[in-house]
Structure 1
Amino acid sequence: MPRTLKAGLVQQQAWPEKAKSLEVSEAGIRDLAAQGAELVMLQELHATHYFCQCEDAELFDLAEPLDGPTATRLAALAKELDIVIVGSIFERRAAGVYHNTAVVMDRAKGRVGFYRKMHIPDDPGFYEKFYFTPGDGDARQGFEPIDTSVGRLGVLVCWDQWYPEAARLMALAGAELLLYPTAIGWHPPDDQAEKTRQKDAWTLIQRSHGVANGIPVIVANRVGHEPDLTNVSEGIDFWGGSFICGPQGELLAHAGETSENLLVELDLTRSENVRRMWPYLRDRRVDAYGDLTRRYRDR
């Protein structure tokens, strides 16, 4: 029998003030729930501005524990609206140990799982290694799907989206969907051709994970210009472009560059049918991939 899932995402602007950002997040969640959404995903670090544009030790004060105010608010919404919510927090795990963490709230059950970002970038305007410790690579906290009432979710975060290994490991562990809360945008001085190449590559790599693994992909990005609070750089223009695609990479919904909510009814039985016709998992040469655990194959 067909098994469907109404899945939505909130693409929004964010501000340094948590109350203001979370008010917009909540409005988006409520709008999607009113339309019948059973699963709603928010973007990476939706409760604040993207603070990683600079290195400032005082910004660690933005961090919260797994059961802090932001997660508690999302859990209450999931219970009230009887939906599954995938949110994002700047997690304070311990003094000096902070993570970029996705949290999954399942209806009245509360938090049923979390995922700590595994790949941490460090580039101009994206100084995440200063703030985030990579997630632990064990079975509980590595590339392990999270079981929910709407299915087994393969939750990854932003920079993880460029790594086919992460998507594959989630799929091999039974993930029925890949979900990517993200925060990515343009350096304002880049010319339009470069901006187009970057955004096209970002969309293409994530759609390819759906193709290679035969499962749908949900991606939520932020929008709007966010200044560098130190005024050293020209800030970031977050490009939006959130989307939901099917198990052959087909775009089912695609947002523009402004605040927008997306909602799609997914037929989860299609993954089974697609994998029967395109049996990539069957034909993998697992006996020949040992070098993937090496940093580089020196000759």
Structure 2
Amino acid sequence: MPRLALLQSKGFATKDEAFAHHETLIRKAAENGANIVVTQELFLTPYFCTVENPEFFDLADPLPGPLTDRLGQIARECGVVLVSSLFEHRGPGLYHNTATIHDANGVLLGLYRKSHIPQDPAFEEKFYFTPGDTGWPVWDTKFGKIGVLICWDQWYPEAARLMALGGAQVLVYPTAIGWLPEEKPELGDAQHCAWETVQRGHAVANGCYLAAVNRTGTEGETEFWGRSFVANPYGELVAKASTENEEILYHDLDFQKVEDFRRIWPFFRDRRIDAYGDLVKRWRA
């Protein structure tokens, strides 16, 4: 069974510090038997989207490029599938929130660009990121078929379903979500409950594993709530990290359980694909 490792970490002041720290975590995870390693969202930078500042565009990297070459070398040396969440400079004035997927031989399989872009107080992502145009690829890696989505994508059952229909056995979500001080006393528990519950529902509805890896620590006024987790096809929490601590969260993925679940809960078989046309409309009056 492939072992999944989620790297729940704090942010760092510089990209060099963040890269060195995460290289250490990736190598440690591999030494502990990990086959698939996933970073949190935008792991090389602080979560800069709390404000609109044009200078932060300088944090972006061309993808593919020297950065993906370095990540591929680490993946090859460690023999792991590596999912890395990065800030992409695609072209003049064009930027994306992008995940790269390296296979265990270090080959860059491709990119997933975040499709759903939020705009909330302290999450000013529409200023920085163009909505993704990569569609819903599923990566057939050495250690399983992986669907990669990013943070705000977590709330959309359509995205999870399309990845599952592409054959994904596990959905992974690099994430940066937390509490604001004015909301936490009244809404903090409810917000976390909603976040975790909707994703556990995706696991059940699609008969697959689901893993969300979040930041921890406080940046500015945002307290990232950590609590990275893995849910099995029944939606059960089979691994969960703490709120405050940096940690590597491990879980062994039994993909036979995915197939077994899909046989006895045949949601894909019973879909009414002839009756869902209104889903592609903005509103159904």
Same fold at TM > 0.5:
yes
Tell me how far apart the structure 2 counterparts of residues 62 and 158 of structure 1 sit (CA, whole Å). 19
Tell me how far apart the structure 1 counterparts of residues 247 and 186 of structure 2 sit (CA, whole Å). 25
Equivalent residue, structure 1, for 2:276: 289
Equivalent residue, structure 2, for 1:245: 231
* TM norm structure 1: 0.92
Tell me how far apart the structure 2 counterparts of residues 22 and 265 of structure 1 sit (CA, whole Å). 26
Equivalent residue, structure 2, for 1:166: 159
Equivalent residue, structure 2, for 1:232: none
Q: Deviations over 1:14-39 (max 9, x none)?
A: 12311112222122211111110000
Tell me how far apart the structure 2 counterparts of residues 72 and 58 of structure 1 sit (CA, whole Å). 25
Correspondent of 1:255 among 241, 263, 266? 241
Equivalent residue, structure 2, for 1:142: 135
Tell me how far apart the structure 1 counterparts of residues 7 and 26 of structure 2 sit (CA, whole Å). 7
Q: Deviations over 1:171-218 (max 9, x none)?
A: 111111101001000001224341000011101111111000000011
Tell me how far apart the structure 1 counterparts of residues 170 and 30 of structure 2 sit (CA, whole Å). 19
SS at match of 1:288: coil
SS at match of 2:115: coil
SS at match of 2:34: coil
SS at match of 1:287: coil
Tell me how far apart the structure 2 counterparts of residues 71 and 16 of structure 1 sit (CA, whole Å). 21
Residue 43 (1) aligns with residue 30 (2): no
How high is the sequence identity, in percent, across the aligned residues?
Answer: 50
Equivalent residue, structure 2, for 1:117: 114
* TM norm structure 2: 0.97
Give the aligned residue type for 2:260.
N
The runs of 4+ residues in structure 1 deviating greater than 4 Å are: none
Give the aligned residue type for 1:292.
L
Tell me how far apart the structure 1 counterparts of residues 13 and 152 of structure 2 sit (CA, whole Å). 22
Give the aligned residue type for 1:296.
W
Equivalent residue, structure 2, for 1:82: 79
Equivalent residue, structure 1, for 2:201: 208
Tell me how far apart the structure 2 counterparts of residues 281 and 30 of structure 1 sit (CA, whole Å). 38
Aligned 8 A contact 2:74 2:106 in 1: no
Residue 219 (1) aligns with residue 212 (2): yes
SS at match of 1:262: strand
Tell me how far apart the structure 2 counterparts of residues 29 and 78 of structure 1 sit (CA, whole Å). 8
Tell me how far apart the structure 1 counterparts of residues 70 and 51 of structure 2 sit (CA, whole Å). 28
- 1:69 Cα shift? 4.2
Equivalent residue, structure 2, for 1:265: 252
Aligned 8 A contact 1:78 1:107 in 2: yes
Tell me how far apart the structure 2 counterparts of residues 27 and 256 of structure 1 sit (CA, whole Å). 20
Give the aligned residue type for 1:249.
G
Unaligned runs of 5+ in 1: 228-234
Unaligned runs of 5+ in 2: none
Aligned 8 A contact 1:71 1:89 in 2: no
Aligned 8 A contact 1:70 1:89 in 2: no
Q: Deviations over 1:38-81 (max 9, x none)?
A: 00000000000000011111110000011344323221110111
Equivalent residue, structure 1, for 2:188: 195
Give the aligned residue type for 2:122.
G
Tell me how far apart the structure 2 counterparts of residues 224 and 110 of structure 1 sit (CA, whole Å). 32
- CA gap of 1:109–1:31, structure 2 versus 1, over 3 A, is closer
Q: Deviations over 1:153-176 (max 9, x none)?
A: 110000000000000001111111
Aligned 8 A contact 1:47 1:70 in 2: no
Residue 130 (1) aligns with residue 117 (2): no
SS at match of 2:63: coil
